[in-house]
A = this chain, B = another copy of it.
């Protein structure tokens, strides 16, 4: 069996001896998604230290988004949840700059979208437990945890629903959101430098059936190093970005389409 022939027309995934196919498409529908989002202005200089120099910060904004994804077709109609922390940026190395969000981190509660997102698109996904959001009247809350220790809480109050005209507006241009990441695969063993290191582009289309304004806030709790050895420093860095001013957030229902067919490495 040959994996090492690079020009056989196939793409593969690990275990590469079992999983190969002729690449085609990559359009992944998620039929039923619920999204909570809130953002806050932060210190631009601190933020700058976490954004690769190839990107320009459009606004020193920390966007915190939680999404419960149902009806995920590539998972047989199953579900998973996401918590993303992102920054609005533009990529500067292409002829025309490209606008989008750079993900500082993406937590997800299933392994398969994590390994796919990391290896195939450079999305900085890591694992967390996230019980489904809770709702009491107009209050919605979410908490993200590791082995029984919550490190991120989001508490929102749902306000005014969007008018039909506003809804049309958020859905124009396929409701497209452009995601940027940085794919980094290390050398194997105790050697410095990457085996692969590059900026990545990965768009997502959305059709929102309802959107409401929200107010609210997030709370970070930094775990001890022994309690969460592989992520406490990530959480500490995020918790250290001050929330200078909260902007209005949103509560959205709709469907999402992952556009792997349009994804690519950036020059």
Contact = CB atoms under 8 A, between A and B. Distances in A.
A51 interface: yes
In the complex, which of the residues A49, A126, A189 has the most CB atoms of chain B within 10 Å of its own CB atom?
A189
A164 interface: no
A42 B226 CA distance: 30
Nearest to A18: B234
A120 B196 CA distance: 11
B50 A197 contact: no
B15 A105 contact: yes
Contact of A230 (B70, B75, B234): B75
B260 A189 contact: yes
Interface string A22-60: 111110000110000000000000001111111000000
Contacts of A25: 190
Contacts of A190: 23-26, 260-261
Given A119-B118, A189-B26, A112 B127 contact: yes
Interface stretch (A129-137, A166-174, A244-252): A129-137
Given A14-B122, A52-B3, A119-B118, A229 B75 contact: yes
B11 A194 contact: yes
Contact of A11 (B54, B121, B187): B187
Contacts of A15: 103-105, 124, 126, 182, 234
Interface string A164-194: 0000000000000000011111111111111
Contacts of A16: 124, 182, 184, 197
Given A77-B136, A114-B115, A136-B226, 19 more contacts: A1-B50, A1-B52, A4-B53, A4-B197, A11-B186, A11-B192, A13-B184, A14-B126, A16-B124, A18-B50, A19-B233, A25-B190, A71-B136, A76-B227, A77-B135, A77-B226, A130-B148, A149-B149, A196-B196
8 contacts: A4-B53, A4-B197, A7-B193, A9-B192, A14-B184, A110-B127, A148-B149, A149-B149
